[in-house]
Amino acid sequence: MTYRVLPPATTTEKEVMMMMNPLIIAAVLLAAVPEPKPKPSPSPSPQLEPWADHPPDTQGWLPSLLDVVRDWAHTHRGLLTAVLVLAVAAAATLRVLRARRWLAAVRSGTWLEVVPPRQTRIGQSAAAWKLLAYLATRADSGLRLAKPPMAMEVHADDGRLALTVWVPPWVSAAAVAKDVRLAWPGALTREFAPSAPRRGWHAAGFELVPTGTDLGPLVDDTRLGADAAGEGDPLRAVFEALRSPGGPNVLQVLVRPAPGRRIRRLKAAARRPVEARRGVASIAADGLVKGVSGAVTFALDMLTDSRTPAASAAKSTASPPDALQRAEMRHAAEKLTAGSHLLVAIRTLSVRPARSVARTEARSTAHGFVVAANLRPRLLRRAGQAVAARRATGRQWLLASAHELAVLLHFPTDPARHGFDVAARTRLSPRDAAQPDAEPPTAHTSGWTHSRWSAPEGLAVIDDDDDPDDPFTFDDGEPHP
């Protein structure tokens, strides 16, 4: 293969200044707060009441507290400005340092190619992912400033496919090879080193997002039976799209352990209906509608005086879940009991001389998942850098079980048919296969003598010499066309 994705760009000084601008402006505004004017002391009264030395505060405690905070901020405005500047500088320095550590870990990571056996059992893909989950846990372990996740990638170029495993440098190659052999018995591992990138070519990619929410099933069916062993493989369209000629194609699956908060959210979805995440525009429109309806209702209640306590009590009572919500709760419960939950981020990447062609090829690969998964492609910004850095944001991580991952990424039953290199020497001979019997000649049929076909009994030996004048000669000696 002659392709390597570009390394991620480091944080520039312009980006650091953009991060520092809001807090610097706040510090300047705080320093420009005017000094409060002293309040005039009240003139003494000739006739004082018993409580005149401590008159009651008619303005309330909140204005007094705000005045105290304002006076303290004005008195220590120099200290506050210094603290804000130091906090901004520390945050920017930490971000730059983390980006450099992340890039260093990506460059020095362990990258191995998995060479599968000639035949794999597609029904054991879920067990393979349960074993590989330990590698994802080791990649995410330890107190480190930057912890890139484990990456399972399929690289394709010139019709050849290669499944690779990338782990951070603190996970040894021996540990990867051991877990790979446990996941796919008979598989081999070897170093994978892509070549230099192609100059002047453009990279485009897509990421896969759920059609609904990741609290439900990500695939239509997690069972990989006998139908999936041949033409019924759910990833057949993906493999064929990866082998598309014209340039390199990449399928990347980032894997990391699922945190406790994602598991707790899944448990909550199994007990009660959970609303799906909405965008800012949807939330703003909903708030506007509720505000207008509330104002109209309040105005009508004031004019007609027809507000009833029963109506407000009915609004606060939760309605029982409907049929769709019960189905979602059941799916969440089934996903919860599946076990071995992981967070995954799935991307596709294509590199072509024209950006439009690269985008078309990457979308074609991502669209192949619609056969078996409840996922849809979405354009990935800065796809080359995102794939090379093996980095995903919070909303790009999807909660998946080992059975779902078995459908989303697995070896086909016949890897060589789809362009994978296979370890032919690791295939064991069958023990219960029937041995072929000898084929002795009979009166009307020939027999095989391990070097040529023998003549039937009672007939002359067939002449196998190339003779254009006498192509077929029988015992009567007459040529037959």
Do 473 and 447 share a domain, yes or no?
yes
CA distance 277 to 36: 46
What distances in angstroms separate CA 271 from CA 264, 363, 401, one per listed residue? 11, 37, 19
- List, for residues 210-222, the tens digit of each pLDDT value: 988 888 888 887 7
Q: Evaluate whether residue 50 is within a structural domain.
A: no
Q: Evaluate whether residue 301 is within a structural domain.
A: no
Q: Evaluate whether residue 79 is within a structural domain.
A: yes
- Which positions ≥6 away from 456 have C-beta within 8 Å? 441, 442, 443, 444, 445, 446
Q: Is-contact 1 243, C-beta < 8 A?
A: no
pLDDT at 449 over 90: no
pLDDT at 416 over 70: yes
Q: How confident is the model at residue 156 (pLDDT cuts 50, 70, 90)?
A: very high
CA distance 395 to 333: 22
Q: Evaluate whether residue 295 is within a structural domain.
A: no
- Which positions ≥6 away from 435 have C-beta within 8 Å? none
Do 118 and 250 share a domain, yes or no?
yes
pLDDT for 453 equals 64
At residue 112, what are phi and psi to the nearest 5 degrees?
-125, 145
**Arithmetic mean of pLDDT over the chain:** 78
CA distance 39 to 11: 51
Choosing from 57, 91, 107, the residue where a domain stops is: 107
Do 83 and 201 share a domain, yes or no?
no
Please report which residue ranges of 124-172 form alpha helices under DSSP H. 125-139
- List, for residues 88-97, the tens digit of each pLDDT value: 999 999 999 9
Choosing from 107, 131, 165, the residue where a domain stops is: 107
CA distance 416 to 427: 13
Do 100 and 117 share a domain, yes or no?
no
Could you tell me if residue 369 is left (phi over 0), alpha (psi between -120 and 50 degrees) or otherwise beta?
A: alpha
pLDDT at 471 over 60: no
Which residues form the domain of 95? 1-33+65-107
- List, for residues 352-390, the tens digit of each pLDDT value: 999 999 999 999 999 999 888 889 999 999 999 999 999
Count of residues making up the chain = 481
Do 92 and 102 share a domain, yes or no?
yes
Beta-strand runs (E) in 181-330? 188-191, 202-210, 249-257
CA-based end-to-end distance of the chain:
53
pLDDT for 31 equals 52
If one compares 374 and 229, the residue with the highest pLDDT of the two is: 374
Residue 372 sits in a domain whose CATH number is 3.40.462
Do 13 and 91 share a domain, yes or no?
yes
Do 103 and 136 share a domain, yes or no?
no
Do 259 and 388 share a domain, yes or no?
yes
Do 26 and 166 share a domain, yes or no?
no
Q: How confident is the model at residue 286 (pLDDT cuts 50, 70, 90)?
A: confident
pLDDT at 480 over 70: no
Q: Evaluate whether residue 292 is within a structural domain.
A: no
Q: Evaluate whether residue 247 is within a structural domain.
A: yes
Do 255 and 170 share a domain, yes or no?
yes
Choosing from 387, 408, 426, the residue where a domain stops is: 426
- Which positions ≥6 away from 104 have C-beta within 8 Å? 146
The count of domains in the chain is: 3
Structure tokens at 91: 């945050």
Do 193 and 231 share a domain, yes or no?
yes
Q: What is the DSSP annotation of 361-388?
A: HHHHHHHGGGGTBSEEEEEETTHHHHHH
What distances in angstroms separate CA 62 from CA 58, 65, 69, 298, one per listed residue? 11, 5, 11, 29
Q: Evaluate whether residue 284 is within a structural domain.
A: no
Do 13 and 115 share a domain, yes or no?
no
Q: What is the mean pLDDT of residues 290-303?
A: 76
Nearest to 109 by CA among 194, 45, 215, 186: 194
- List, for residues 82-129, the tens digit of each pLDDT value: 888 999 999 999 999 999 999 999 999 999 999 999 888 888 888 999
Q: Evaluate whether residue 312 is within a structural domain.
A: no
